[in-house]
Amino acid sequence: MTAARKDPTTVENEVREKIHLEILKRTGAYHANDHILLPSGQHTSEFIEKTLVTTEASFTEGLGAVIAKHFAQWPIDVVLSTGPGALILSHCVARAHPSRPTLMYGTKGVSAGKRKVTLPAEFHRLIRPATKVLIVEDLVSSGTTVKLLSDLVEELGGQVIGIGALWRRTKKSEVAGKEIFSLVSRDFPTYPPEQCPMCKKGVALNQEFVKRREHRRPSSARERN
């Protein structure tokens, strides 16, 4: 029997992804081999705490530089963070990009039950026709936020070059025809309690993340991505 050979690019990408995962593990943001209760009530064995991903400044600089390097072949005028949460990473991307782009951020919210993304008015005049924009997000789940922000940029006449992210949970590698380049592309399965394999094995349930969230802020103010 012959094992299918992986092509060198695939192997290189896998190795790189492992390194990035290890970096995120060292920040304390990435948890694996656990049995975790999510705020949704679902159970999972892996979890990423978004607020911790940029707590190690030198790691963030390194990760930002990898994203900048990927997009270095294109001139970029603006690095646009999806929100305050991704702003530290966005800063590191902007610093490392050879075009010396300016940095700005959008704000996320929910209006009439719908997700909404806005750009502070002061930034509007900085996006002119043909302004080249790189959108930066920490964690891309459904891609809705980056899609809304991309639409907003295009309404202002700007051109979205791509999307840089730390982590991509969705299998889609593009949003609205724009490439998503992520340091880690990985989804983790979530289970309703009655179908959870860890529950079946009797593994103790870790409720730490849900408790911590409840202490921190009311659910209505939760930032969504």
- Regarding 210 and contact with Zn ion (CB under 5 A), the answer is no
Q: Specify which residues 79 forms β-bridges with.
A: 103, 134
Point out the residue whose Cβ comes nearest to Zn ion.
196
Helix (H, G, I), strand (E, B) or coil at 61: helix
CB of 224 to Zn ion, least distance (A): 24
Q: Taking CB under 5 A as the rule, does residue 36 contact Zn ion?
A: no
Candidates 43, 91, 108, 178; binder of Zn ion (CB under 5 A) is 43
CA nearest 225: which of 142, 169, 165, 150? 142
How far apart are the C-alpha atoms of 48 and 20, rounded to whole Å?
13
The piece of 46-54, 61-69, 167-175, 194-202 that touches Zn ion (CB under 5 A) is 194-202
Q: 212: helix, coil or strand? A: helix
Least distance CB 33 / Zn ion (angstroms): 13
8-26 and 57-70 are packed helices; what angle lies between their axes, rounded to 10 degrees?
150
Question: In angstroms, rounded to a whole number, what is the distance separating the alpha carbons of residues 147 and 98?
Answer: 26
Our CB check for Zn ion shows the closer of 148 and 198 to be 198
CB 45 within 8 A of CB 217: no
Q: Which of 199, 206, 209, 223 binds Zn ion (CB under 5 A)?
A: 199
The yes or no reply on residue 198 touching Zn ion (CB under 5 A) is: yes
> Which one among 139, 148, 161, 196 touches Zn ion, defined by CB under 5 A?
196
Helices (H) and strands (E) in the chain, counts: 7, 13
Beta carbon nearer to Zn ion, 84 or 192: 192
Show the tokens assigned to 41. Answer: 């009530």
Minimum gap (Å) between residue 31 Cβ and Zn ion: 14
| Contact positions vs Zn ion (CB under 5 A) | 43, 196, 198-199
